[in-house]
A and B are shown apart, each in its own frame.
Chain A
Amino acid sequence: MQKLIQVLWPSFLVAAVVEAVFFTVIDPQALYLLGEPVHYDPLTTYSIGFLAFWLICAASSLTTLYFQRTADEINHPEAH
Chain B
Amino acid sequence: MNSTAPNPSPKAPPPPEGDTLYAVRQKVYVRAVTGLFANWRWALVWFTQIVFYGLPWLQWNDRQAVLFHLTERKFYIFGWVFWPQDVFFLAILLIISAYALFFFTAIAGRLWCGYACPQTVYTEIFMWIEEKIEGDRNKRMKLDKAPMSPRKLGIKAAKYGAWGAVALWTGFTFVGYFSPMSELLASVATLGFGPWEMFWILFYGAFTYLFAGVMREQVCKYMCPYARFQAVMFDPDTLVITYDEGRGEPRGARRKGVDSATAGKGDCVDCGICVQVCPTGIDIRNGLQYECIGCAACIDACDQVMDKVGYPRGLIRYSTENAIKRGWGTKEIIGHVFRPRTLVYGTVLIAICVAFVWGLATRDPLRVDIIRDRASLGREVAGGMIENVYRLQVMNMTEVPRNFVFDVKGINGIQIAGDHRVAVEAAATQAVTLQVLVPYDAGKPGANEIVFEIHPEDDPSLKLFEKTTFLFPR
Contacts and interface: CB of A to CB of B under 8 A. Distances in A.
Contacts of B20: 1-2
B199 A5 contact: no
Nearest to B24: A2
Given A1-B21, A2-B19, A43 B84 contact: no
A23 to B, nearest CB: 8
A42 B21 contact: no
If over half of A's interface residues share one DSSP class (helix, strand or loop), that class is named, otherwise mixed; here it is helix
A43 B194 contact: yes
Interface residues of B, number: 22
A43 B197 contact: yes
A27 B393 CA distance: 15
A42 B71 contact: yes
B70 A13 contact: no
Interface string A32-76: 000000000111101100000000000000000000000000000
Contacts of B194: 43
B17 interface: yes
A22 B78 CA distance: 26
B73 A9 contact: no
If over half of B's interface residues share one DSSP class (helix, strand or loop), that class is named, otherwise mixed; here it is loop
A46 B222 CA distance: 29
Contacts of A43: 70-71, 179, 194, 196-197
Interface in B187-212: 194, 196-197, 199-200
Interface residues of A, number: 14
B231 interface: no
Contacts of A44: 196
B21 A47 contact: no
B205 to A, nearest CB: 16
A46 B203 CA distance: 15
A34 B296 CA distance: 56
B351 interface: no
Interface of B: 17-23, 70-71, 73, 84, 87, 90, 179, 194, 196-197, 199-200, 222-223, 225
Given A24-B84, A25-B87, A43-B197, 5 more contacts: A1-B21, A2-B17, A2-B18, A42-B70, A43-B71
15 contacts: A1-B21, A2-B17, A5-B21, A5-B222, A9-B223, A13-B225, A27-B73, A27-B84, A42-B70, A42-B73, A43-B70, A43-B197, A44-B196, A46-B70, A47-B196
Q: Which 10 A-B pairs have the closest CB atoms?
A: A47-B196, A42-B71, A43-B196, A24-B87, A2-B22, A1-B19, A9-B223, A1-B20, A44-B196, A46-B70
